[in-house]
Structure 1
Amino acid sequence: MLNVKIIKNPDELNMTTPHEITHLLWGTRSIPRTYVYIGFVPGDGFYVRMVCEEKDPRRTYTEPQDPVYQDSAMEAFLLFSHDGQAPGTYLNFEINANGALLAAYGPNRTYRSYFSPEEFRHFRPAAEVKEDHWSASVHIPLSILEHIYGPLDLKKGSTFYCNFYKISESQDIEHYAAYAPISSPVPSFHMPEYFAESVLE
C-alpha cells in the first residue's frame, strides 16, 4: 500500500515521504537513485515531483507530446477506477529534464486519448537540472480527473492506483525501473494490473 499525503498546498509536497523506484526490469542492472513525492490538495488535485540523482541526463526533446521516453525520463501513471480483470482508464505523465511532457489517458497502451492544449497547460510541467541530480514536476488537476472519471469524492481513506517509472528506450542508455514490480516478459509500463494500491491519508 502506497500512502499519499493530503496536503494544504503544493509547498508542503517536499515534506511528504518520498517513494523510491527500486524494481529493475527487463535486464536493467542499475539506475541512478530515483524517488517520487506525491500529494493531494483537496479541491485542487495531485502534485507530483520526481527526482533522479543523475548527472547530465539525456534531454533532446523539448515540445509537448514528444517521445520523451527516448531521453532519460521519469513517469507517473495513475488510475482512479478498478474493476477486477478490467482495470479501466489510466493516465500517463512522462517527462524529461527539459520539462517536455507526454500525457494521455485510456484503457491500454494502444488506445490513448490526448489532452487539448488548454487542458495541457493546467499540468504546468517543469524540470530543473542541477550538477548532481535533476527533478521534474507536474500538477494533475481534479477538474481534469473528474472530466475523465466523473465525480471522485477524494478524501481521507480514498483509494486509487499508481506506478512510477525511470526509463530510456534509447539503446545506448536503455533502462527500465518501477516503483511497483511488473511481472511481464515484454517491456511495457502500460500494465495497470501491476499498479500499486494507494490510499489518501
Structure 2
Amino acid sequence: MSSLQIPYRDIALENFTYYALSQQMGTLPWQPIASVNWEGFSYKPNVNFQMAHDSQRIFIHYSVQEEFVKAQYVHINEAVWEDSCVEFFVSFDKKVSYYNIEFNVLGTGLIGSGSRRKEERARLDPAITTKVRTATTVVNVDGKKKWNIILVIPTAVFVNDKIGSLRGLTAHANFYKCGDGLPTPHFLSWSKIEHPTPNFHLPDFFGEIVFE
C-alpha cells in the first residue's frame, strides 16, 4: 500500500494567486501520479503533486503536462472528469466512506461523499464545494500544454466528519489524473489499482496519508 507523510506548513492566503501560493509550496517534495492501471488506456501524461496542511486546510498543488487540454465545464457539479481533470479521494473512517474531490483545469469542481455503494453517494451542495479555493495557470511548452492547479480545501468541506484539526490524523486516499472526454482518454493513479476496468471509486486501493 502506498503511503505519504503530509507536512505542516503555514501558507499565507492574503495574496491569493498561483504564483504566491506556488512559491510558498516550492520546497515541498513532488509525488508522481504515474500508475497506468489499464492496458487499453496506456497514454501517460506527466503528472505530479505537492501536498501540505495547516491543521485547518489541505493544500494540493498539481502539475500536469499533456498533449491536449479540454475545459468544457464551468458550473459546479458538472461532468468535470470529462475535461482535463485532477482528483483527490479521501476517507477519514478507514475506507467505510470517502469524499471524491474533482477539479478541471478551469478550477470547476465536483465533490461527492458517501459509502462505496453508488446508491449511497451524493454530491455536496454547491455552497460547500465553493469553499475550495483554486489557483490555476496554463502555458504552452514545446508544443505540449502544461497546466497547474492549487486546491485549498478547508476541513469544513468534510461535512460527514468532525475534524477539529488535521494534525496527527491518519487517513486513506488516492490521487488521480483523468480525461474521459479527451482525444486520448487516460486514467492515472498515485496508488496502484487492480481492477479489470477503469474505476477510481475503489477505496480498497487507497494508500495511507499521515498529517504531521
Give the TM-score band, short-chain normalised.
Answer: 0.7 to 0.9
| Conservation of the 8 A alpha-carbon contact between 1:96 and 1:127 | no
Query: Relative to structure 2, which stretch is displaced further, 170-179 or 45-54?
Result: 170-179
Q: Secondary structure at the match of 2:160?
A: helix
Residue 18 of structure 2 corresponds to none
1:129 maps to a residue whose letter is V
Supply the distance in 2 between the matched residues of 1:109 and 1:187 (Cα, whole angstroms): 17
Match of 1:161 among 172, 175, 194: 172
Q: TM-score, normalised by structure 2?
A: 0.83
| Conservation of the 8 A alpha-carbon contact between 1:69 and 1:94 | yes
Q: Secondary structure at the match of 1:63?
A: coil
Residue 124 of structure 1 corresponds to 133
Cα RMSD of the aligned pairs, angstroms, is 1.9
Residue 107 of structure 1 corresponds to 115
What's the CA shift string for 1:150-187, capped at 9, x where partnerless? 2454324x311111111122273111110000011121
Residue 5 of structure 1 corresponds to 7
Residue 125 (structure 1) shift: 3.1
| Percentage of matched positions with identical amino acids | 23
Supply the distance in 2 between the matched residues of 1:123 and 1:75 (Cα, whole angstroms): 13
2:154 maps to a residue whose letter is P
Residue 93 of structure 1 corresponds to 101
Residue 55 (structure 1) shift: 4.8
Unaligned runs of 5+ in 1: none
Q: Within the alignment, does 1:191 sit opposite 2:180 as a pair?
A: no
What's the CA shift string for 1:70-101, capped at 9, x where partnerless? 1221111111111xxxx212111111112111
1:148 maps to a residue whose letter is N
User: What is the aligned residue count?
Assistant: 194
Unaligned runs of 5+ in 2: 13-20
Matches within 5 A, 1:39-188: 39-42=52-55, 44-82=56-94, 87-108=95-116, 110=118, 111-132=120-141, 133-145=146-158, 147-151=159-163, 153-156=165-168, 158-170=169-181, 172-188=183-199
| Conservation of the 8 A alpha-carbon contact between 1:101 and 1:125 | no
Moved over 3 A (4+): none
